[in-house]
Structure 1
Amino acid sequence: MIKVAVLASHNGSGFDALYEALIKKELNIELVLVISNNQNALVLQNATNYAIDNFVVNSKTDANPDEKIALLLKEYGCHYVFLSGYMKKLSSDLTGEFKIINSHPALLPKYGGEGMYGRYVHEAVIKNREKISGVTLHEVNENYDEGKILLQKELLLNGDESVDLLEKKIKKLEQIAIVELFKNI
């Protein structure tokens, strides 16, 4: 069975989508590990509630966080790593050694790169009066949002779209896309 680790900094809504799909028997993967750089992240509590091993790894807990992450991924035999709102850049050592997938709340290559995440992306999309937006699932390399695109899903924007409404729509679309991608790996 394919073993998946999730790295998340806050809520980990992508982690929740994977877990719910597992419960519904829609996926043939095993969620074996959750890592967060934030000791107060909700994703850690959810992982504990679901009996999934979880760890806090950051510069306060480890001299070299990426090295510690690599050790955990190897120890748990992870085939894939999914970034669910993980707010730290990963080293090329990690991205070169593991299959790491990120979910980005826009249609890359537009609205990607350093500083383009969450609400900042949606604000830019609305400010530029885009007609469509969406979600991109992509491989992670050493550069922000430049890895190979694996799956994109788009949605039409209303002329009066608010940032809050767009964020909710994108989150919903993102959960669908994540499950679809992991059905096919």
Structure 2
Amino acid sequence: MKHIILFASGSGTNVENIVKYFEGHSAIAVSCVFTNKRDAFVIDRCNAMGVPAFSFNGPAFKNGSILLQILKNLKPDLIVLAGFLRKIPSEMVADFPEKIINIHPALLPKYGGKGMYGKHVHREVKANKEKESGITVHYVNDHYDEGAIIEQRSVSIASSDSEDEIARKVQELEHLHYPRIIEAVLTEN
């Protein structure tokens, strides 16, 4: 059995989608979820689904030694960022090379980098009158949104689409493709 650990910062819709996708899977399971916010709604979602969820504070993440030791002890086959808004420390990237993946709500390299997440991305897509947007699943390295791209999926954007409509279209892509891409990464390695 291959084990996934999820990291999230917010409400956890991607976490819930990934957990449900792998429920009863014969070869892949979600072991637990980590969040950097003690009051994140993802914890409620995890409790409802019976998935262990743990929160940590900023110093535990930045210093990283305790969290890193916990991760090493858990021996995940893949660490999946699902709406996690912190930069992964270099030590963690070094200890889990090509074992940490992220989903970004745009077609990288466009609209990536520090501060480019969620509504900030969709606002820029709208302001620049893009005809398409999408998702990029990529490996995590020492720089925001610059790791090797695993897969991208796009969706058409109409000039009349609001930022919220763009966000909805992109989230539909996330829910449709992210679990399948995770599965492919795990079965190809």
Task: Sort the TM-score into its range (normalised by shorter chain).
Answer: over 0.9
Deviations 1:52-86 (A, max 9, x none): 222111136x3855223212222222111111111
Compare 51-60 and 146-155 and name the one that shifted more: 51-60
Change (3 A) 1:44 1:65: farther
- Equivalent of residue 86 in structure 1, options 84, 87, 98: 84
CA shift, 1:6, in A, is: 0.6
> Is 1:96 the equivalent of 2:90?
no
Compare 44-53 and 169-178 and name the one that shifted more: 44-53
> Is 1:149 the equivalent of 2:127?
no
Whether contact under 8 Å (1:21, 1:27) holds in the other structure is: no
Q: Number of residue pairs matched?
A: 183
- 1:1-185 matches, within 5 Å, as 1-23=1-23, 25=24, 28-59=27-58, 62=60, 64=62, 66-98=64-96, 99-184=99-184, 185=186
Change (3 A) 1:70 1:182: same
- SS of residue paired to 1:150: strand
Deviations 1:110-159 (A, max 9, x none): 00001100000000001001111000000011100000000100011112
Aligned-CA RMSD value: 1.7
Identical-pair percentage: 32
* Distance in 2 of aligned mates of 1:51 and 1:76: 18
Compare 67-76 and 84-93 and name the one that shifted more: 67-76
* Distance in 1 of aligned mates of 2:173 and 2:49: 24
* Distance in 2 of aligned mates of 1:18 and 1:90: 20
Write the letter of the residue equivalent to 1:12: G
TM-score, scaled to structure 2: 0.90
CA shift, 1:28, in A, is: 3.5
Whether contact under 8 Å (1:27, 1:182) holds in the other structure is: no
Deviations 1:160-185 (A, max 9, x none): 11001110111110111212212212
Whether contact under 8 Å (1:151, 1:181) holds in the other structure is: yes
CA shift, 1:36, in A, is: 0.6
* Distance in 2 of aligned mates of 1:158 and 1:30: 38
Where do 5+ consecutive residues of structure 1 fail to align?
none
TM-score, scaled to structure 1: 0.92
Deviations 1:3-45 (A, max 9, x none): 000111111222111112123x567311001111100011112
- SS of residue paired to 1:78: coil
- SS of residue paired to 2:102: strand
